[in-house]
Amino acid sequence: MSDLTITALLLTSLFLILGSGVWIGLTLSGVAWISIQIFSARAAGDAMAVTIWGAASGWTLTALPLFIWMGEILFRTRLSQDMFKGLAPWMQALPGRLLHTNVVGCAIFAAVSGSSAATCATIGKMTLPELARRGYPEVMTIGSLAGAGTLGLLIPPSIILIVYGVAADVSITDLFIAGVLPGILLAGLFSGYIAAWSLLHADQIPPRDAPMSFAAKLRQSSSLIPVLLLISSVLGSIYAGIATATEAAAVGVVGALVLSGLQGSLNWSTFKEALMGATRLYCMIALILAGAAFLTLAMGYIGLPRHLAEWISTLGLSQFGLVVALMVFFIVLGCFLDGISVVVLTMGVLMPTVQKAGLDPIWFGIFVVLVVEMAQITPPVGFNLFVLQGMTGKQLPYIARIATPMFFLMVAAVLLIYFVPGIVTWLPQQMKH
């Protein structure tokens, strides 16, 4: 049976099961089970048990529920309100006003978590209720968060950059440094789009607050100090080499509890609600991750990623043609697999082709992360879409539709770093001098 036929069968199975209303995580596991049962000699039940246990019990995955819990604490105490109180005076003059808090918040938290799902979930817990309460249009509050949440993959420390560095034998430190400017560029594109949309739809943006003097803005922003202290403690513990990302997540939880306790906004009720809220949200994400891990294993057995990668390498494309082909290839793969799995399954086959085409491995790493970010907001397996669906209760097609402009902004970012590669390579080169 050809790869095209197998792919068509898997896609049909996926959409049929999704359309029947089965949970996303169970759907992914079901399609994986079908593909192993039909197209592989391995026992599907044994493969499912081993893979799902491995995916659910990984130590690095511990960071995700901890960061989500940290977000729940911030959401249920006064810290999230203080974040808005501190940012609001500086955002009022911008077209789109407080919609920019999605982008700024995600960019800041991305430097803490290294995970797109954790960034989207944490910032969403803080911004979505506040923006809804203030009357901002839902299409922009959810859409901008879907896009900005992907910054968790690009702005260091990034889990997927570490995976790429190991798989492609590239300096992880250089990759971290290289991710800074593209991360700022992408955040700037998101904010630029928010500003342009708001100018065209000025009637949908709530009126600005009363003008404030510079001194008054500074006084108002003093409420940001607790949040900045929390971020500094998490980031500082990572960059100082004191803690891993997972340990730093625990530092974040403790810091959030201490700060909210000192503010007097933490009690037994809010503590219990935050813990249960984090548990529910993480269980949803963990089930999806487990299903994705099993589907990744199934596709590995069938050999689809390897066959597709080998086919691309035989096309004899120009450098730009190769970049476009790989962008489409990674977006399609990312529709069905998580980003880390995409990198692990394809780098061994693709790196010789990439180096032969004259592409810098550091540049290619940032390119891969940008394209995998796009897959975070493309159905049927866009993790940020699932996270937002769990938080808002909205339908997946609706969230995917309002996130579409962010997808095209990421395409623009890929084209920018291709035609101006210095955006990626300049900072690492300066750090070596």
Beta carbons of 33 and 46 less than 8 angstroms apart: no
- Domain assignment present for 37: no
Q: How far apart are CA 343 and CA 348, in angstroms?
A: 9
- Domain assignment present for 349: no
- Domain assignment present for 252: yes
| Nearby residues of 187 by Cβ (< 8 Å), 6 or more positions away | 103, 104, 106, 107, 148, 151
Query: What pLDDT was estimated at residue 36?
Result: 82
- Domain assignment present for 176: yes
HSE, side-chain direction, 13 A CA sphere, residue 314:
6
- Over the chain (433 residues), what is each successive 10-residue block's mean pLDDT? 68 72 78 81 79 74 78 70 72 81 82 71 81 87 88 77 79 81 92 92 78 79 77 74 77 86 84 88 77 78 71 78 88 74 72 80 92 80 79 84 90 93 87 65
Beta carbons of 234 and 111 less than 8 angstroms apart: no
Query: What pLDDT was estimated at residue 309?
Result: 67
**Domain containing 89: what range?**
60-283
Beta carbons of 162 and 172 less than 8 angstroms apart: yes
- Domain assignment present for 99: yes
Query: What pLDDT was estimated at residue 75?
Result: 67
Cβ atoms within 10 Å, residue 91: 18
Query: What pLDDT was estimated at residue 418?
Result: 93
Query: What pLDDT was estimated at residue 4?
Result: 63
Query: What pLDDT was estimated at residue 196?
Result: 93
As given in the structure block, the two tokens for residue 84 are 């808005």
- Domain assignment present for 294: no
Residue (of 339, 329, 321) closest to 304 by Cα position: 329
Please tell me the pTM assigned to this model: 0.72
User: CA-CA distances (angstroms) from residue 300 to 137, 205, 267, 303, 304?
Assistant: 42, 48, 48, 5, 7
- Domain assignment present for 233: yes
Residue (of 147, 146, 134, 104) closest to 205 by Cα position: 134
Q: How far apart are CA 92 and CA 366, in angstroms?
A: 33
Q: How far apart are CA 122 and CA 55, in angstroms?
A: 22
Q: How far apart are CA 408 and CA 384, in angstroms?
A: 16
As given in the structure block, the two tokens for residue 65 are 């529920």
Q: How far apart are CA 230 and CA 221, in angstroms?
A: 15
How many structural domains comprise the chain? 1
- Domain assignment present for 138: yes
Q: How far apart are CA 363 and CA 352, in angstroms?
A: 15
